[in-house]
Chain A
Amino acid sequence: MSVSVEDLLFTIRYRCDTESHLSIRDQAVCRDCRKPCLTFCPAEVYTFRDGEMHVAYENCIECGTCRVACSNQNIEWRYPKGGYGVAYKIG
């Protein structure tokens, strides 16, 4: 694949909060899960390393797919605080 998700995300303007609007409710649930979030997330916010699910909330484009599709409802999903998060120039 010629393009990386990093290249794509680089085209998006964000205003980053210092705290995450996404959190994993229970890491143990992720360990036992097939982890479809690793592929369906269009911003690759989720990576699984050393037995832990890592959440790169700074990259989140707030689509809500993980909120809908986490098979265990293991993702606490809120909107970022007002004014923070993705800020599309085009949309």
Chain B
Amino acid sequence: MSERFDAIVVGAGPAGTAAAFTMARGGLKVLMIERGEFPGAKNVFGGVLYRHHLEELIPEWWTKAPLERPIVEQNYWLLDGDGAVKIGHRSRRYVDGKPNNFTALRAKFDRWFASQAEEAGALLICETTVTELLMEGDRVVGVRTDREEGDVYAQAVIIADGVNSLLGKQVGAHRELPPGEVSLVVKQTLSLPREKIEDRFGLEEGEGATIEILGAPSQGMVGLGFLYTNTDSLSLGLGIMVDDLVATGARPYELLENMKQHPALRKLLQGAEVKEYAAHLIPEGGLRAMPKLAGPGWMICGDAAGMVNALHREGTNLAIASGQLAGEAVLAMAKAGDFKPEGFQAYAQAVQASFIRQDLAKYQRLPSFLHDRKALLMGKLPDALNDSLFEWFNVDDRPKAEHQRQIVHNIKEMAGGTWGLLRLAHQGWRAINE
């Protein structure tokens, strides 16, 4: 493999593939290196894929890609020990015409997406781990792989090696991930016949629903659960911040098993067998943890660059958009015939100008807000809301005025009084507004 390429992409996930696709379609000689048996073999997400950003690269991609169900209903459930406050929205607008989002499985989707980059002309090599970046001075000039005579050279290297990004560390793009900026998700894919899924979730044939789950299952730690409908399986998972797992000694897979026993979930999951267990890290640091995005000879994209919008469960679309921007920066340099450092910086500037930075900037205080107020947000708040709805609906010998006074009391008590409530509202607002 002593060949030279215009560009090498490390990692055939959504970010790397989007970059490879963009460059190959633009006529460049592109090598995509994947350590898994096939693209997707190492990859895990919840997972919901959004249609919009990939349409730019592959119009009508969703009519060809292996997808599970277009999502017609999306929910947030706030659980206490036995109850659930349910907030959600169902509308034909999400699915009629061009659906907004879909459930998907990464072993299928990533493989398909990578095949599109191959069709566009990129060379894909699997079962190959990149062990280090090759440097000339401060410039990345290629990669060393674990194959015999495995050094490969290129004008540009795109680092899309995922959340652990050992290569990002080698170029000093980012420091080591602190346990407070990363969550561990454990997931079970549970098989269930499609008719049962549609009956249990109240769905038309082929359509899907999502539920994000906050509260009791994370046992006071900062975490979020999810339950998504696939074609003939359910994706059930729970993500917990790693610093909380270290502090509590909780076993992640036991937390997930406990969540399955919650009365609001138990019957939805009844009889569903575990098809596959999985675990993966999610970078949760947001904008403030985002690394340096480019340097001479290299750019970094997707999870490797911490591009995840946790509040909106968005990661793959940020990955795809960043990969496309990196690919376009390389195309511009190739066209100009000059791979100077400013050409790589153009990618960083493009990310700054894109929705990636805009959205992450809006929520840049959210990670610290969740961390600082976790006892309240992950425990007292879901509890108080469950207690309050119970007061609202429950009929007994007390007059309505008394029930409603109790509700006001519950909400104030949760936040530590009226001032505490105002402070919480203020902090919450600031956490989601730049």
User: Which A positions have Cβ atoms within 8 angstroms of B?
Assistant: 1-3, 5, 7-9, 11-12, 15, 36, 39-40, 42-43, 61-65, 67-69, 71, 78-83, 85-91
Contact = CB atoms under 8 A, between A and B. Distances in A.
8 contacts: A39-B251, A65-B279, A69-B246, A81-B129, A82-B145, A88-B43, A88-B278, A90-B105
A87 B257 contact: no
B210 interface: no
A80 B278 CA distance: 17
B164 A69 contact: no
- The 5 A-B pairs at the shortest CB distance, nearest first, are namely A83-B127, A91-B106, A42-B279, A8-B277, A64-B164
A11 B277 contact: yes
Given A11-B275, A11-B276, A90-B278, A68 B242 contact: yes
Majority SS at the chain A contact face: loop
Contacts of A42: 184, 186, 252-253, 279
B410 to A, nearest CB: 33
B189 interface: yes
Contacts of A88: 40-44, 106-107, 276, 278
B271 to A, nearest CB: 14
A89 B178 CA distance: 30
B254 interface: yes
A15 B37 contact: yes
Given A8-B277, A82-B126, A90-B276, 4 more contacts: A40-B184, A42-B184, A82-B145, A91-B105
Interface in B53-105: 105
Given A12-B276, A42-B252, A69 B105 contact: no
B274 interface: yes
B35 interface: yes
Nearest to B258: A1
Given A8-B188, A42-B279, A81-B129, A91 B43 contact: yes
A81 B407 CA distance: 58
B166 interface: yes
B182 A62 contact: no
Contact of B278 (A7, A61, A67): A61
A84 B250 CA distance: 29
B176 interface: yes
Contacts of B163: 64
Contact of A82 (B147, B166, B188, B276): B147
A63 B277 contact: no
A2 B45 CA distance: 25
A1 B189 CA distance: 19
Nearest to B246: A36
A78 B177 CA distance: 15
Which interface residue of A12, A15, A61, A83 has the most chain B CB atoms within 10 A? Answer: A83
A82 B105 contact: no
B245 interface: yes
B249 A36 contact: yes
B107 A43 contact: no
Contacts of B274: 3, 7-8, 11
Interface in B2-28: none
B184 A90 contact: no
Given A68-B176, A90-B278, A91-B107, A1 B254 contact: yes
A68 to B, nearest CB: 5
A79 B253 CA distance: 23
A83 B145 CA distance: 12
A9 B279 CA distance: 11
Contacts of B176: 68
B146 interface: yes
Contacts of A43: 279
A82 B130 CA distance: 8
A89 B110 CA distance: 12
Nearest to A8: B277
B179 interface: yes
Given A63-B279, A87-B36, A39 B257 contact: no
A88 B235 CA distance: 14
Contacts of B164: 64, 67
Contacts of B279: 42-43, 61, 63, 65
Contacts of B233: 90
Contact of B179 (A12, A15, A69, A81): A69
Nearest to B188: A8
